[in-house]
Amino acid sequence: MKIYTLHSKQNLPITLDEAWEFLSNPKNLKTITPDYMGFKTLSGDDRAMFPGQIIQYIVTPVFGIPMKWVTEITHVQDKKYFVDEQRFGPYALWHHKHFLKEIPGGVEMEDIVDYKVPMGILGQLVHPILVAPKLKEIFDFRRKKLIELFGEFKG
């Protein structure tokens, strides 16, 4: 059983409060997801994030095939971190930790995603060709979108 890890850090020139308000609001996930993903929230984004919150989406990650994705917010510590875990969707495992830390001139945003692809050895063979590049592309889009929204960190 191979578990992969994606690790990303980005500094933003905004306050911790601004970062938390934006990043912990499930409605903003669509804003930082590429349009071609066809991201649409079905339910669960109607209130502030809390442990136990179930959020349902439709995404179109590959070949234009819509897929339902259900995540649970399992942990929240105000203005410090939150964790979402897939309950149903394209991965055999998806555990995404979002950390925020105040730094001089802004905030450091860190993501650690531990995930497992389905379909055993076949999934592992497809991972470097399809899955890993797609995740990198999505996180690169998010990085650029956050700079567009909040500006480039100059610290």
Higher pLDDT, 62 or 97: 97
Residue 148: pLDDT over 90: yes
Residue 65: pLDDT over 90: no
HSE-CB of 84 using CA atoms within 13 angstroms: 19
Cβ-Cβ contacts under 8 Å for 1 (sequence gap 6 or more): 116
Please give the single-letter amino acid code of residue 45.
D
With the C-alpha atoms ordered 23, 27, 31, 34, is the resulting torsion angle positive or negative?
positive
Does the pTM exceed 0.75?
yes
Average pLDDT over residues 66-82: 97
Place of tokens 């500006």: 151
Task: Name the percent of the chain lying above pLDDT 70.
Answer: 100
- φ, ψ for residue 48 (rounded to 5)? -60, 150
